[in-house]
Amino acid sequence: MSFKKVGVTAMLVFFIAGCGNQYMRKPAACPEIKADQSKATLVIYRTTSFGWVKEIHNYLDKAYIGTTKGKCFFATKVDPGSHYVIADAENKACAKINFEAGKVYYLCQSIFIGVWSARTGFTPGTLKEFEEQQKEMDCLIVNTEEKAPVLGDKDYKETVADFEKEEKEDPKKHEDTDHLQGF
């Protein structure tokens, strides 16, 4: 085998090995997604394999809650009240949701072609839509053995300020997620 072929093969193996999601893992059995009487439950899911390897880190306010890549989902518990859900890709997508205890909320994470990397956004999801897609997606849970990625103070403040500015300038822009209802 020529030196060039060995180099290309080594880079390919390194690239594929490097695509693993160190922050999330696939459990032996997916935890049941159900309402909790003292907290809300948030499910974030990606139904497409487009941009499969692009990992998108998600935060509730500034706390890491999970990472998606193609055709997967995760669920997390949320204290009742108003919270920002932020996704970190080439852009920072943001949704402001008023969570109620005892309800499950579904957010579909979209992925788009960006300039240098993938971009992301949120659209409201429904229980029915999620259940129709769930069989084709991997269930993931946070890998507690790894140090979680961090959303810095500057990024958090800029994302929230941009979101609030957009809300003032065009109150209908985020109307779909502003009024997201739980099930």
Query: In the chain, how many H helices and how many E strands?
Result: 4, 11
- Cβ atoms of 109 and 68 within 8 Å: the answer is yes
> For position 22, what pLDDT does the model report?
85
Q: What is the pLDDT of residues 87-104, one digit of tens each?
A: 999 899 999 999 999 999
Of 64 and 50, more confident: 64
Phi, psi of 150 (to 5 degrees): -115, 135
What is the chain's length? Answer: 183
Record the pTM: 0.85
**Token pair recorded at residue 61:** 């306010």
Under 8 Å CB-to-CB from 37, ≥6 apart: which residues?
101, 102
Backbone angles phi, psi at 182, to 5 degrees: -85, 165
Highest mean pLDDT among 5-9, 83-87, 107-111: 83-87
Q: What is the mean pLDDT of residues 67-71?
A: 92
> Which pLDDT band, with edges at 50, 70 and 90, does 14 fall under?
very low
53 vs 174, higher pLDDT: 174
Which token pair is 68? 């998606």
Cα separation of 10 and 78, whole Å? Answer: 43
Dihedral sign from CA coordinates of 118, 175, 76, 103? negative
User: What is the pLDDT averaged over residues 47-70?
Assistant: 87
Q: Which residue has the higher pLDDT, 62 or 9?
A: 62
pLDDT digits (tens, 9 = 90+) for 36-55: 999 999 999 999 766 556 89
Strands 104-113 and 40-46: parallel
User: Is the Cα dihedral 179, 177, 153, 158 positive or negative?
Assistant: negative
Q: Residue 99's pLDDT is what?
A: 97
What mean pLDDT is reported for the chain?
87
Output phi, psi for 77, to 5 deg.
-85, 145
**Per-residue pLDDT, 183:** 94
4 vs 65: CA distance, rounded Å: 42
Is residue 3's pLDDT more than 70?
Answer: no
